[in-house]
Amino acid sequence: MTVILSPLGEFEAPAGAAEGLWLDADQAAAASGWELRPEGLCRGDVCVPVPPGKAETFVADGKVNLAAFWRHMGMPAATSADGDVWALGEGADNRATELRSLKAPDFTLPDLAGVEHSLSDYRGKKTLLATWASW
């Protein structure tokens, strides 16, 4: 089993045989929000074509190497030594654009009882978002 930690959450997929993060196109879309289309890997109106001459590194037999695309798009990725866990992050440019828009990025986190709360649940109130730590 391969675990994918992405901005959309935590996902599991069958382990691939080859190097990289090879996923069925629908798994890749669920884990990343990027869909495989004839024109390339796409999210909304944005499509990233498969680099010419390197198709086998990115797409094969209906599967997509999401890690290869991720890095090709300049987005951060890290993997465990035996490739069974992948962390795919949002790109710095996207984060910067979002922060400069001044729209507060939403998140969902648990309280001590395990109940999940989202920032957006409190729209309509002034919100002081404050961090602390036990350490």
Q: What is the contact surface with other proteins in residues (CB under 8 A)?
A: 3, 5, 74-81, 85-92, 95-96, 99-100, 102-105, 107, 109-112, 117, 119-120, 122-135
Instruction: Please state the closest distance from residue 2 (CB atom) to other proteins, in A.
Output: 12
Instruction: Please state the closest distance from residue 28 (CB atom) to other proteins, in A.
Output: 18
Smaller CB distance to other proteins: residue 56 or 120?
A: 120
Instruction: Please state the closest distance from residue 56 (CB atom) to other proteins, in A.
Output: 25
Asked if 22 and 16 touch (Cβ cutoff 8 Å), the reply is yes
Smaller CB distance to other proteins: residue 17 or 131?
A: 131
